[in-house]
Structure 1
Amino acid sequence: MKFVWLKRLWLMGLVLACSGGAHGQDAASSPVEFNYPLALVATRSGEVFVADRNLPGIWKIKNGTRSLYFQASKKFRTPLNAVRCLAIDHQGNLLAGDSATREVYRFSPSGQPQPLTHGWIGIPMAIAVTPDGTIYTADLETHRIWKMPAEGAEMPTEFARIDSPRGITLDGEGNLWVLSTSSKEGQIQKVTPDGKKEAFIKDHPFNLPHNIVRFDNGDLFVTDSYEHAIWKITPDGIPKIVISGAPLDRPVGLCRNGNNLLVADPHIRTIFSFAPDKTFTILSSSPASFSSQAPVANPAVKSEKEFSKRFSE
């Protein structure tokens, strides 16, 4: 325990020493294409923010047009050098989790990131915010879910211990649904507001799950990059693949946009929108040839009719 505290103190000092403003630092290069878009979030008005791990930085998509919202520095241990997750808080502000500085940031109206924990979080993989502004963060490094008030906290409270937490989502009753890669207690667990855990998916049907969202009817959706698929889990706990293969390659990011699902597929540098009627559109995409790191995508779906067969109930 003493070692953990010393490590935390050392990291806090390192982050404070290195967290000078990075906004616009690399703006001269004026990036115009996705590099590795792995997380996304939509606002109530329909704007979409996309975290680009290798840019590094954050994009904004409004009315179908993509623009650079925040350009981080390529220097390690500077703000959002390793951005991994996004969320919108109770007041409509953008939150971003960054493993380079072990931090969760809130963006000001002028687009400047403000740290909320002074380097307390290890590897923030997902963020969820309650209506009163309480912030939950899934930490892959410490295998914990941290809880802090809207204004942040130098030392967030430990809310739950769950191995390999990847994604989190809230329901209307304040329960937190946690997606895990390998927890022996189940790959999806429900944590009540008072911190009690209950296994929902007790076994391990998912191969490499990344993110989870919940709809008001209780349906859960999970991205699984190794299965090249999206899973649907009904309220009775039955998981089933509903989207498999093309047009997806290795889906990672997932969020709600009204009644639609938005999916970030970093390997083909594309953001998809999937509608309840089983049709899809490409919200934003960059040429696969732009990055040598991007693998060849699966063959494209020739028609919405063909795709609808894949997106079955």
Structure 2
Amino acid sequence: MTTRILTVGAPALLVGVSVGALLAQAPATPPSLPTPPSLPYFVGNALGLPIEPTTPGPFAPMSPQVKVYGAIYSAESCAYDPSRNLIIVPNRGVPQNVQQNNAWVSLLNHDGSVHTARWIGVQNAGAPRAALTPPLVLNEPYGSDVANGTLYLADRDGSTSPQDKGVAVIRRFTLATGAPAGETRVPAVEWFNDIAVAADGTVYGTVTGGATDADAATWQVWRIPAQGEASIVVQGAPLKRPNGIAIDGDGNLVVVNMLSPDVLTLSPAGRLLKTAQAAQAGNDGIVILRDGTTYVSSVLNGGVSRLRPGQPATLIAQNIPNAASMCYDAGAHQLVIPMNANNALAFVPLDPK
């Protein structure tokens, strides 16, 4: 090994002396900062409510007939593919301010096992997706629906920073191939929570808005036609933080609220036709079967309400954490409920047909 001797010139020596003098004048320790409050270490509860053991109240386990499987990431909704007889699950991936174009879509079997881990979005974000023909853009999909051989996703662009306003985008994909099939941007909306698609391809989307009565103007249902301008169908009351939306057998809109147990049936023009009550408030998901039976999931309270025509609502499952925008798996006659913060799905078997 060769030893090297470094000779320091006068200018460098003076700099060193000056730096040393400054260091000598600096305080020995930095100013003390406020000590953050000490919290006990804890792990999460088993599946049930409350999710965290530090939350007041007794723990209640999830209903025993509900089965949960993982293998998805931050899913807010799901849809059923009648051609493949599979469950479609959009994974939101990381937020836009972490990485753009990071989302993907999985296909699952009826038992929750994975059929295709990454169906749409197997390519990495960035150049691999941009180089595709057509390019793939899928950022943070929330609501989803399938109609006329097309998968519709409520996505958004922007939101990469506090200064970058989000723009809602309805993205369409051909169900047979998964290829992008066009998009509709709605610049007046930052993001849609849930969507439902009519037979003619018109998309209806909810804007959940703020959490107090003072925010009523932000509670909205929009119509996004296949061609033409998007417009507001309903704004404010009777909406009360609208979340899930579906279309019934008569072509009417059915909307559930976060701030009330109301299940609102509206005409396509937005006129209130009737109001029913779910067994809980804080609702997110809604499924309507052909016979009119309606199921509603509460993302805040964890229950699944069943509303049969002319009968009061009953709870068929309880204490499902983060029970988001569910879908109906017709091939297995069951509800599939994304548990977004848990990166999992809950499966609720229904009574025999």
Q: TM-score, normalised by structure 2?
A: 0.59
Other structure's SS at 1:124 match: coil
1:77-103 CA-to-partner distances (Å, cap 9, x unmatched) read x954222111113x2111111244311
In the TM superposition, residue 62 of structure 1 has moved relative to its aligned partner by: 5.1
Q: 2:203 aligns with which of 117, 130, 135?
A: 135
Q: Which has the higher contact order (CA 8 A, sep 6+)?
A: 2
SS of the residue aligned with 2:285?
Answer: strand
Structure that is richer in strand per residue: 1
Preserved CA contact (<8 Å) 1:103 1:120: no
- 1:229–1:250: 8 Å Cα contact kept in structure 2? no
Q: How does 1:189-204 map to 2 (within 5 A)?
A: 189-201=264-276
- Number of the residue aligned with 1:187: 262
Q: Which amino acid aligns with 1:253?
A: S
Write the distance in 2 (CA, Å) between the matches of 1:57 and 1:113: 17
Structure 1 residue 48 corresponds to structure 2 residue 87:
yes
Q: How does 1:1-313 map to 2 (within 5 A)?
A: 33-45=71-83, 46-55=85-94, 56-61=102-107, 63=109, 64-71=114-121, 73=125, 79-89=137-147, 91-100=148-157, 101-108=167-174, 109=177, 111-112=179-180, 114-141=182-209, 142-151=218-227, 153=228, 155-161=229-235, 162-182=239-259, 187-201=262-276, 205-236=279-310, 238-245=312-319, 248-258=320-330, 259-277=333-351
Unaligned runs of 5+ in 2: 1-69, 95-101, 127-135, 158-166, 210-217
Q: 1:243 to 1:221 in 2, by over 3 A?
A: same
Matched-pair identity in %: 18
1:192 shift after superposition: 1.6
For 2:311 and 2:253, the matched residues in 1 are separated by 16
Query: TM-score normalised to the size of structure 1?
Result: 0.66
1:225 to 1:194, Cα distance in 2 relative to 1, 3 A: closer
Give the aligned CA root-mean-square deviation in angstroms.
2.8
Cα distance in 2 for partners of 1:62, 1:244 equals 24
Distance across 2 between alignment mates of 1:194 and 1:33: 40
Gaps in structure 1 of 5+ consecutive residues: 1-31, 279-313
Equivalent-residue separation in structure 2 for 1:208 and 1:195 (angstroms): 22
Q: Corresponding residue for 1:303?
A: none
Per the TM alignment, residue 255 of structure 1 is displaced from its structure 2 partner at its CA by: 0.7
| Paired residues of 2:89 and 2:108 also in contact (CA < 8 A) | no
C-alpha separation in 2, matches of 1:84 and 1:265 = 13
How has the CA–CA distance of structure 1 residues 188 and 277 changed in structure 2, closer, same or farther, with 3 Å as cutoff? closer
How many residue pairs get matched? 236
Structure 1 residue 116, shift from structure 2 partner:
1.1
Say which one has the larger Rg: 2
Deviation at 1:66, TM superposition (A): 3.0
Deviations 1:159-216 (A, max 9, x none): 2223311011111111110111126xx62111023431134136x8524211111112
Distance in 2 of aligned mates of 1:96 and 1:201: 28
**Structure 2 SS opposite 1:147:** strand
Amino acid of the residue matched to residue 52 of structure 1?
A: N
Matched residue type, 1:148: I
Does structure 1 conserve the Cα–Cα contact (< 8 Å) formed by 2:75 and 2:142? no
Give the distance between the partners of 2:146 and 2:194, measured in 1 at CA: 12
Deviates most, 92-101 or 57-66: 57-66
Q: Give runs of ≥4 in structure 1 deviating > 4 Å.
A: none
Secondary structure in 1 matching 2:250: coil
Distance 1:110 1:255, change over 3 A: closer
Q: 1:310 maps to which residue?
A: none
